[in-house]
Amino acid sequence: MAEFSLPANSKIGTGTTWPAPASARRSRRFRVYRWNPDDGRNPVVDTYTVDLDDCGPMVLDALLKIKNEVDTTLTFRRSCREGVCGSCAMNIDGTNTLACIKAIDEIKGDIRIYPLPHMPVVKDLVPDLTHVYAQYQSIQPWLQTESTAPPDKEWPQSIEERERLDGLWECILCFCCSTSCPSYWWNGDRYLGPAVLLQAYRWIADSRDEKSGDRLDALEDPFRLYRCHTIMNCTKTCPKNLNPAKAIAEIKKLLVLRR
């Protein structure tokens, strides 16, 4: 029987445990992934016990409290705290989501927090997004036209045409969907992933854009598009309740219809 084990330098150990304040009456334990590339050590999981009576209701509130009052070395991204910027995307209780809109009370037991899966880690909860941003840039996510712009006017668009963009423009590029996709885990070097493909369809579906044919040409590739096997993890995990799988299916349908 074959035996498989992780390389020694990838095994996660047990880190420091920080107890709750003596006055805490209602506390929860947060088990947080920690890794510092500068110390040469393996990743560990530190345990922090937080007094919920002295903390906001969201997971991000607890992380901020830990960083401000317990352990200033804890590293994570955050910005708007309103579910708009996508900065605080991470894996919480086994699901990719935004820490700022994930309520502590929605989670049972200890709260386990890890960086987005299958991404290089910069430090602690911060993933390296260099590759996915390069993929995003490759789809040329801006309005492209050949016609002369109307003088001193906006490009016209009917109400019906504008409604076609609903469910697409709301994407905040948190990449929760792409990092939950097994196809992206296996082929992330060439497969664009759900987030980037949803953004690609956003411009294909825009009535003002006049480069839809070129955009479809660029996507008609065995890897860039067709590595999607409709697993649906992307739609299930999206914190904005969008449907990347449907957007990918619409691109495939357009490619078939134009043949």
pLDDT tens-digit readout, 62-101: 999 999 999 999 999 999 999 999 999 999 999 999 999 9
Confidence of residue 21 (pLDDT cuts 50, 70, 90): confident
* Amino acid at the residue 182: P
pLDDT score at 2: 74
The tens digit of pLDDT for each residue in 153-201 reads: 888 899 999 999 999 999 999 999 999 999 999 999 999 999 999 999 9
Q: Closest Cα partner for 91 from 83, 81, 103, 99? A: 99
**In angstroms, how far is CA 238 from the centroid of its own chain?**
8
Q: How far apart are CA 24 and CA 50, in angstroms?
A: 8
Taking residues 142-156, report their average pLDDT.
Answer: 85
Q: How far apart are CA 175 and CA 178, in angstroms?
A: 5
Confidence of residue 3 (pLDDT cuts 50, 70, 90): confident
55 touches 64 (CB < 8 A)? no
| pTM of structure | 0.92
Q: Supply the DSSP string of 53-112, one letter for each residue.
A: GGS-SBHHHHHHHIIIII-TT-------SSSSS-TTEEEETTEEEETTT-BGGGS-SSEE
The percent of residues above 90 in pLDDT, for the chain, comes to 86
* Run of H or E residues at 183: helix 182-187
The tens digit of pLDDT for each residue in 231-252 reads: 999 999 999 999 999 999 999 9
Confidence of residue 25 (pLDDT cuts 50, 70, 90): confident
Q: What is the DSSP letter of 10?
A: G
Q: Which residues, 6 or more positions from 33, have their beta carbon under 8 angstroms from its beta carbon? A: 12, 43, 45, 113, 114, 115, 124, 125
Q: How far apart are CA 104 and CA 57, in angstroms?
A: 6
* Amino acid at the residue 93: D
